[in-house]
Chains A and B, each alone.
Chain A
Amino acid sequence: MVRVSKGVLQKAGKTLCDILVCPLSKQPLRYCGDSNSLISDAIGVAFPIKNGIPCLVPRDGKILEEENASKPDNNNTNLSEVEEQNQGRSA
């Protein structure tokens, strides 16, 4: 899943994908093609991409509701991995 999303982001620039992180948690971002947004799984916030310009100001982010955030299994594991990483860092 991660590879696919990177492939999609290559249009916007692969380098950008490598460099961008969530402004609040500094965790990696995931590209969501359906809503055309960058999703920070660590804090459950979606940042919009307007005309190819990602908007990563915390105020522009939308908090994902749990119902809408029903993701494929791969993503859930991805999320739990991130959580594990977070716990590992805090521990």
Chain B
Amino acid sequence: MRAVSSFWRKQQQAWAFGRSRSAAFSTSNVKIFDRQLKRTQRDRAAWLSHEHSHEHDPLLTSVSQNLLDRLQDCKRTFPAALCLGGSLQPVARALSSPPHNGGVEKLIVVDASYDMVRACKEASHHHAVETHFLVGDEEFLPIKESSVDLVVSCLGLHWTNDLPGAMIQSRLALKPDGLFLAAILGGETLKELRIACTLAQMEREGGISPRLSPLAQVRDAGNLLTRAGFTLPGVDVDEYIVKYESALELIEHLRAMGETNALSQMNHILKRDTALATAAIYDSMFSEEDGTVPATFQVIYMTGWREHPSQQKAKRRGSATISFKDIQKQFGSQS
């Protein structure tokens, strides 16, 4: 199992390496994800969340709150904000409710799914913040250079084929000293489901096919930020364990979030037998004493700034005028 998952990661790294040689805006030929399928899945997520619009998804809400908490650590305000795909409604809701919204006066909400954007538009009743809605793709961001102060992407960027390219476009859309905040799902996400799917498929079909998408690792996130050209990069990781009654509820939840499989090379046939076997294996391997099954969601939070002369940076190598030996002489005796 581990060998299989590491194989997928290796593939992903190889793709990432191939992409690094291409220019920033050229789209890579490798299509890991079917973006059109993702759009339809997000349409479905919009309908599903519309049915339960009175109750907010706890996972998406806590991730977006955690992400937007970072705004309160900043002294400056962000008059113009851009909110990209993923968990759209919680972010838009939080950003359009002063006073704890980082001073956002103008909010642009972008998602690839029209129904998602419309649902978000219908749900927004806040007039404190000027909000615009727009259907757009993170890989082809239709935002002019240096026009926004803040880009927030909550749980959306892990579905992009060209993650560095999407981040570079976000950086270009930012004004100098603008803030980029993103949350993506990390490689530990749904490890239980990954194991259960692999075992069930091995048992019932005698082979495996990718049921879960390759995800970025924590160590990649910092590299991504640096490669996209952000300054003062910051990465931190949080793990959420959500408990479900059974694996079927987990799949329902994934559908409602629009986080189901969208690999372009995926096997489109899922036999009922295999699905039930997956649920049974999940239950027998991971169920807890109270009868619930846990699912891990690893969220990687990324923070980066567009470069600006006012930001602190390291001094040039060799520009120091004081030797470390002198410092030790001065302070070493005290300790």
User: A2: CB under 8 A from chain B?
Assistant: no
Specify which of B80, B118, B142, B145 is in contact with A53 (CB 8 Å cutoff): B118
Query: Contact mask B117-140 → A, CB, 8 Å, 1/0?
Result: 110010000000010111111001
Chain B's interface size range is 20 to 34
Give me the 3 closest cross-chain CB pairs, A-B, nearest first. A23-B140, A56-B142, A23-B142
In the assembled complex, 23 residue pairs joining A and B whose CB atoms fall closer than 8 Å, in A order, are: A13-B132, A15-B80, A15-B106, A15-B130, A18-B144, A19-B144, A19-B147, A20-B134, A20-B142, A20-B144, A23-B141, A26-B144, A26-B145, A29-B142, A51-B118, A55-B135, A56-B134, A56-B136, A56-B137, A57-B136, A57-B137, A58-B140, A59-B36
User: B104: CB under 8 A from chain A?
Assistant: no
A residues contacting B by CB (< 8 A) are 12-13, 15-16, 18-24, 26, 29, 50-60
- Residues of chain B contacted by A18 (CB below 8 angstroms): 144, 147
- Residues of chain A contacted by B80 (CB below 8 angstroms): 15, 19
Contact B142 A16 (CB under 8 A): no
User: B108: CB under 8 A from chain A?
Assistant: yes
Q: A16-B132, A23-B136 are known contacts. Are A53 and B121 too (CB-CB below 8 A)?
A: yes
For A12, give the chain B residue with the smallest CB separation: B132
Kindly state the separation between the CA atoms of A50 and B132 in the bound complex, as whole angstroms.
13
Contact A24 B117 (CB under 8 A): no
- Residues of chain A contacted by B117 (CB below 8 angstroms): 53
- Residues of chain A contacted by B140 (CB below 8 angstroms): 23-24, 56-58
Query: Contact mask B199-237 → A, CB, 8 Å, 1/0?
Result: 000000000000000000000000000000000000000
Kindly state the separation between the CA atoms of A21 and B132 in the bound complex, as whole angstroms.
15
Kindly state the separation between the CA atoms of A51 and B119 in the bound complex, as whole angstroms.
12
- Residues of chain A contacted by B106 (CB below 8 angstroms): 15
- Residues of chain A contacted by B143 (CB below 8 angstroms): 19-21
Contact A54 B137 (CB under 8 A): no
**A36 → chain B closest CB, angstroms:** 14
Q: A53-B121, A56-B142 are known contacts. Are A19 and B108 too (CB-CB below 8 A)?
A: yes
Contact B141 A53 (CB under 8 A): no
Kindly state the separation between the CA atoms of A50 and B135 in the bound complex, as whole angstroms.
10
**A30 → chain B closest CB, angstroms:** 14
Kindly state the separation between the CA atoms of A55 and B117 in the bound complex, as whole angstroms.
10
Interface centre among B121, B132, B133, B137 (most CB of A within 10 A): B132
**A41 → chain B closest CB, angstroms:** 15
Interface centre among A12, A26, A57, A60 (most CB of B within 10 A): A57
Kindly state the separation between the CA atoms of A51 and B145 in the bound complex, as whole angstroms.
26
User: B286: CB under 8 A from chain A?
Assistant: no
- Beyond the given pairs A21-B143, A56-B135, 9 more chain A to chain B contacts, judged by CB atoms under 8 angstroms and listed by A's residue number, are A15-B130, A20-B134, A20-B142, A51-B118, A53-B114, A53-B121, A53-B133, A57-B135, A58-B140
User: B148: CB under 8 A from chain A?
Assistant: yes
- Residues of chain B contacted by A22 (CB below 8 angstroms): 142
Kindly state the separation between the CA atoms of A50 and B121 in the bound complex, as whole angstroms.
13
User: B112: CB under 8 A from chain A?
Assistant: yes
**B86 → chain A closest CB, angstroms:** 16
**B162 → chain A closest CB, angstroms:** 13
- Residues of chain A contacted by B36 (CB below 8 angstroms): 59
Contact A21 B118 (CB under 8 A): no
- Residues of chain A contacted by B108 (CB below 8 angstroms): 16, 19
Kindly state the separation between the CA atoms of A54 and B36 in the bound complex, as whole angstroms.
18
Kindly state the separation between the CA atoms of A21 and B206 in the bound complex, as whole angstroms.
50
- Residues of chain A contacted by B134 (CB below 8 angstroms): 16, 20, 53-54, 56
Specify which of B135, B144, B147 is in contact with A60 (CB 8 Å cutoff): B135
Contact B135 A53 (CB under 8 A): yes
Contact B112 A57 (CB under 8 A): yes
**A69 → chain B closest CB, angstroms:** 21
